[in-house]
C-alpha cells in the first residue's frame, strides 16, 4: 500500500471452538460496545534482547463485525494479497440465540447450518452442503446447566459420534468425543483465567496416543478485552502472538489532534513501511534501508484532514483521517485503498525471562542416567537427586538466552546455552558440547 502514497508524492499528484452455541442478549464474550475487531497473528522470534514479533509483507488478517448486542454477525478472512477469500455470516433470533451460520468461499455459499431453539437452548443443528442438501444433523440433550450431550447423525440417521461437553460459568471446560460403541476417540480440556479466556488446552487422541498441549497468556485493554494473545508450545516457549485492534462504537467520536497522531506509524501488513510524524511538523515516509520521502505535515482538526507536502515539491496530498481503536486510518480521493497504520512494539521486553522460567520450573529426568533427576525450583535453586537421595544442590538464573548454574549464591558459576525441543531440554557449554539432555518427568517413568 505504501507504493501508492510514494507514487503520488513523487509523481506530483495534486491536491482481517467450532460450535453452534446459543448466546444471551448482550453477549458476555466482549466488554463495552464493540463494532469491529481486526486480528492478525505473527510469529515470535527469540533474540538476545528478548522475544520480538516477526513482521513481514503480508496483508492477511481477520476482521469481525458485531451487532449492538456484541454478537458476531460477520467474519472475513483476508489473504496475503489483501483480498477477502472466505467469510462467515451469522443470524440471531430476538433473544440473541444463534439460529444460522453461512460460510462463503470466493463469494459462493460453501456450507450452512441452522439451529432449532427451545427455551433459549440449541436442541438440534442441521448442516447443509453447497448444493443445499442436508449433510448431517446433531442433537443436543442437556443435563442441568453444566453438561450437554451432542449426538452426530449422518443423512440416514445413523450415529457417527457422541460428545460429552461440560461447562462452568457458561464456558466449555472439557469435551470427550466417543464412537457409537462408546469407545473414546478424543478429549479436550481447557483451563481458564478469571477473564474467562483459555490459558491451557490439552488434547488427547485415544487412537494414536498423541497428546497436544498449548498454553496462552493475554494482555488486556482498559475495558477488559484482550488485545494480545501469546501462544506457547508445550514447553512454554513463545511461538506466536495474536494482536487485536478493537474498534468500539464510541471511536467514531475520537478527537484528532497533533498529539494523538504524533510518532512512528507502520503501515499495517508491511514489514517496515512507515510514516513518521515529528513534533516539528516534518515527516518521513519509507523504509530505513531505502531512500525516504520527506516533507512537512499539517493538520486541520475541524475537518479531520492530514496534509503532507513533500520537500522541494509544490504538490500536497490531503487525507481524511480517523482514529479507530489503536489504528490511524488515512483516506484520500487520490488513492484507491484505505491506509491502515499501527504503532508497534518490536521487542517484547522482559518476556523471555517470564516465558523461559515457566518452562524450566519442573522435574526433569537426566538421560543416560536411569536414576538421576534435576528439578528447577521457583526460589532459584535446583536439586539433582536419585530415586532415593539428594545428590547435589545449587542455584540457577536466566540471563537472556543463557542459563547460569552455581554451587551457591556467592560463587561465580558457569553460563550455558539451553534449547527446548518438544519435551526435551538440552543444555550445552559455550563450545556447543552437550552437558545435559533432559526429558520432562512424569510418573509413568517410575
Task: Give the burial string for 322-354 (b: 16+ CB within 10 Å, else e).
Answer: ebbbbbbbbebeebeeebbbbeeeeebeebbeb
On the question of pLDDT at 2 being above 80, the answer is no
**Per-residue pLDDT at 120:** 92
Count of CB atoms situated within 10 Å of the CB of 430: 10
Return the C-alpha cell found at 316.
500536497
**Per-residue pLDDT at 271:** 92
Taking only the tens place, the pLDDT of each residue in 361-388 is 889 999 877 689 999 998 889 999 988 8
* % of residues, the chain, pLDDT over 90: 58
**Distance from C-alpha of 164 to C-alpha of 142, rounded to nearest angstrom:** 10
Instruction: Give the best-scoring range by mean pLDDT among 229-238, 266-275, 403-412, 416-425.
Output: 266-275
Q: How confident is the model at residue 293 (pLDDT cuts 50, 70, 90)?
A: confident
**Distance from C-alpha of 430 to C-alpha of 435, rounded to nearest angstrom:** 10
Taking only the tens place, the pLDDT of each residue in 381-440 is 999 998 888 889 999 887 756 788 888 777 777 888 877 765 678 888 777 778 888 988
**Per-residue pLDDT at 443:** 67
Region of residue 170 (phi > 0: left; psi between -120 and 50: alpha; otherwise: beta): left
CA distances from 333 to 15, 318, 336 (A): 9, 8, 7
Q: Give the closest residue to 351 by CA, choosing from 47, 6, 25.
A: 47
Contacts 24+ apart (CB under 8 A), 395-403: 396/360, 398/352, 398/353, 398/356, 398/357, 398/360, 400/48, 400/49, 400/50, 400/352, 401/46, 401/48, 401/352, 403/360, 403/427
Q: How confident is the model at residue 315 (pLDDT cuts 50, 70, 90)?
A: confident
The region of weakest confidence among 25-39, 160-174, 176-190 is 25-39
pTM comes to: 0.75
Q: How confident is the model at residue 352 (pLDDT cuts 50, 70, 90)?
A: low
Q: What is the mean pLDDT of the chain?
A: 86
Count of CB atoms situated within 10 Å of the CB of 394: 17
Taking only the tens place, the pLDDT of each residue in 31-88 is 999 999 999 999 988 765 567 888 999 999 999 999 999 999 999 999 999 999 999 9
**Distance from C-alpha of 154 to C-alpha of 254, rounded to nearest angstrom:** 52
- In 302-366, which residue ranges form alpha helices assigned H by DSSP? 351-360
Amino acid at each position: 500500500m505504501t507504493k501508492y502514497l510514494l507514487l503520488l508524492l513523487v509523481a506530483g499528484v495534486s491536491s482481517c471452538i467450532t460450535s453452534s452455541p446459543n448466546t444471551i442478549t448482550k453477549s458476555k464474550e466482549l466488554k463495552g460496545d464493540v463494532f469491529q475487531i481486526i486480528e492478525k497473528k505473527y510469529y515470535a522470534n527469540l533474540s538476545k534482547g528478548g522475544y520480538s514479533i516477526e513482521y513481514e509483507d503480508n496483508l492477511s488478517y481477520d476482521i469481525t463485525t458485531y451487532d449492538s448486542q456484541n454478537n458476531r454477525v460477520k467474519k472475513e478472512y483476508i489473504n496475503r494479497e489483501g483480498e477477502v477469500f472466505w467469510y462467515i455470516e451469522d443470524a440471531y433470533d430476538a433473544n440473541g440465540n444463534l439460529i444460522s451460520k453461512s460460510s462463503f468461499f470466493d463469494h459462493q455459499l460453501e456450507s450452512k447450518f441452522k439451529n432449532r431453539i427451545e427455551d433459549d437452548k440449541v436442541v438440534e443443528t442441521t448442516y447443509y452442503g453447497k448444493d443445499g442438501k442436508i449433510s448431517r444433523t446433531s442433537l443436543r440433550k442437556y443435563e442441568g446447566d453444566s453438561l450437554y450431550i451432542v449426538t452426530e447423525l449422518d443423512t440416514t440417521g445413523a450415529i457417527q459420534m457422541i460428545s460429552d461437553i461440560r461447562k462452568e460459568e457458561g464456558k466449555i471446560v472439557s469435551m470427550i468425543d466417543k464412537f457409537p460403541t462408546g469407545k473414546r476417540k478424543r478429549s479436550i480440556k481447557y483451563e481458564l483465567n478469571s477473564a474467562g479466556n483459555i490459558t491451557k488446552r490439552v488434547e488427547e487422541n485415544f487412537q494414536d496416543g498423541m497428546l497436544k498441549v498449548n498454553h496462552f497468556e493475554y494482555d488486556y485493554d482498559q475495558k477488559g478485552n484482550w488485545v494480545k494473545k501469546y501462544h506457547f508450545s508445550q514447553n512454554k516457549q513463545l511461538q506466536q502472538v495474536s494482536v487485536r485492534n478493537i474498534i468500539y462504537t464510541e471511536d467514531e467520536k475520537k478527537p484528532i489532534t497533533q498529539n494523538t497522531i504524533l510518532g512512528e506509524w507502520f503501515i499495517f501488513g508491511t514489514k517496515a513501511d512507515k510514516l513518521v510524524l515529528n513534533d516539528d511538523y516534518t515527516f518521513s515516509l519509507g523504509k530505513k534501508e531505502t531512500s525516504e520521502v520527506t516533507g512537512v505535515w499539517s493538520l486541520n482538526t475541524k475537518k479531520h484532514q492530514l496534509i503532507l507536502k513533500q520537500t522541494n515539491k509544490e504538490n500536497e496530498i490531503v487525507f481524511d483521517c480517523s482514529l479507530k481503536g489503536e489504528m490511524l486510518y488515512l483516506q484520500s480521493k487520490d488513492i484507491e485503498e484505505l491506509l491502515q497504520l499501527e504503532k508497534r512494539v518490536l521487542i517484547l521486553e522482559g518476556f523471555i525471562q517470564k516465558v523461559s522460567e515457566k518452562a524450566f520450573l519442573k522435574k526433569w529426568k537426566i538421560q543416560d542416567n536411569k536414576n538421576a533427576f534435576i528439578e528447577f525450583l521457583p526460589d532459584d535453586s535446583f536439586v539433582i537427586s536419585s530415586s532415593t537421595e539428594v545428590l547435589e544442590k545449587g542455584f540457577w538464573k536466566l540471563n537472556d538466552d543463557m542459563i547460569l548454574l552455581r554451587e551457591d549464591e556467592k560463587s561465580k558459576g558457569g553460563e550455558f546455552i539451553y534449547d527446548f525441543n518438544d519435551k526435551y531440554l538440552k543444555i550445552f557449554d559455550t563450545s556447543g558440547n552437550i552437558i545435559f539432555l533432559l526429558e520432562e518427568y512424569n510418573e509413568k517413568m517410575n
